[in-house]
Each structure stands twice: as structure tokens, then as C-alpha cells.
Amino acid sequence: MLLCAGMLVSACDSGRQVSRGLSNLTNYGSLEVRSQPSGARVYVDNKYVGATPERVSLNRGKHLVLVKKSGYRTAEVWTDVAAGQNSVVDVNLEAD
């Protein structure tokens, strides 16, 4: 009987951990950044995240996206990432 009670408590604790983990996931969405020409450096909130095309997971909310490529003007875009959704930023870079 005591062994059963221990297993039950363990299962309850596991359930709480799983639901806590799932609620953290609902705070995130993804952002896909594409550019013409491709291969531009992508910064989100002033942090380098990769080169276009690039997809990153972010906290929900507003984010500043900078897209930079040598010989082109830097593109600056504010975007809103929704929890559980994919946001897309398409940029046509202008030559200097």
C-alpha cells in the first residue's frame, strides 16, 4: 500500500512538471527572416542570430529585426511574434 502511494505522488509530480513545461512553450513563437539578396546577416534585438533565410524561436512580443549585407542599406523592421505562431519578415535590401 505504501509503495502505491509513492508511485501516485510521483505521477502527480511528473504531471505538474509536464504542464509547467507546456505553459513555457506557449510563451514562444517563431520568426522567419528572408531577404533579397539572401545571405544577409540577421540581428534580433541587437543579437546576431544567423544569415537569411533564417528561422528563430523567440519570446512572444515585439522585436527589432535588423538585416545587414555589405553594399546594401541596413533594413530595420519591428515585428510582433505571437505565441505558438510563425511570423515572417521579407526584406528587399536596397543597394548603397
Answer whether CATH 3.30.365.10 is correct for domain 28-92.
no
pLDDT digits (tens, 9 = 90+) for 13-70: 444 455 455 555 579 999 999 999 999 999 999 999 999 999 999 999 999 999 999 9
The whole model's pTM is what? 0.73
Q: How far apart are CA 92 and CA 78, in angstroms?
A: 15
Q: What is the pLDDT of residue 1?
A: 45
Which three-class secondary structure state does DSSP give residue 10? helix
Q: What is the pLDDT of residue 2?
A: 45
β-bridge pairing 41-44 and 61-68: antiparallel
Q: What is the pLDDT of residue 46?
A: 97
